[in-house]
Amino acid sequence: GQQLNQSPQSMFIQEGEDVSMNCTSSSIFNTWLWYKQDPGEGPVLLIALYKAGELTSNGRLTAQFGITRKDSFLNISASIPSDVGIYFCAGREGNAGGTSYGKLTFGQGTILTVHP
C-alpha cells in the first residue's frame, strides 16, 4: 500500500525557536494536509495544499506542496508552549471519481515538545 514517511519522529525545542518537519511519499499525491493533535483530542486540520509548489500560511505556520508531488513540509515560526502536540501529514493519492478519492493516508506523526 501507500507509504508515507514523516520526520522527525519527535522534537524537543526551546520556546521561540523555529520548527520544521516533512513528509515524503512513495508515489504522487494530489493533496497534502497537515493536522495537529492535542493530548486527549482528535486531529484538527491546520493547512491544506492542493497544487504542486503551493505555499500556504496559517499564522505562524507555513506549509508547502513539493514540486515532485511526493513531499511536503510544515514550518512553525517562533514556537510557543501551546504548539505542543503531535503533527500529522496526510495525503490523497487519487483523482475525483477514483477508488481512493476521499481517502487519506497519514504519516506516523511528529511529537513536538516546547520548553518554556
Q: Which one of the spans 4-12, 13-21, 59-67, 75-83 is the region binding another protein (CB under 8 A)?
A: 4-12
* Contact residue for another protein among 28, 44, 78, 80 (CB under 8 A): 44
**Cα 24 to Cα 91: distance, rounded to the nearest angstrom:** 10
Q: In terms of Cα–Cα distance, which of 35, 33, 74, 72 is closest to 52?
A: 72
Decide if residue 1 touches another protein (CB under 8 A). yes
# of chain residues touching another protein (CB under 8 A): 27
Task: Tell me if residue 66 falls in helix, strand or coil.
Answer: coil
Give yes or no for a contact between 28 and 94, defined as CB atoms under 8 angstroms apart: no
Which residues bind to another protein, rule: CB under 8 A? 1, 4, 6, 9, 31, 33, 35, 40-45, 48, 50, 88, 90, 92, 96, 101-104, 106-109
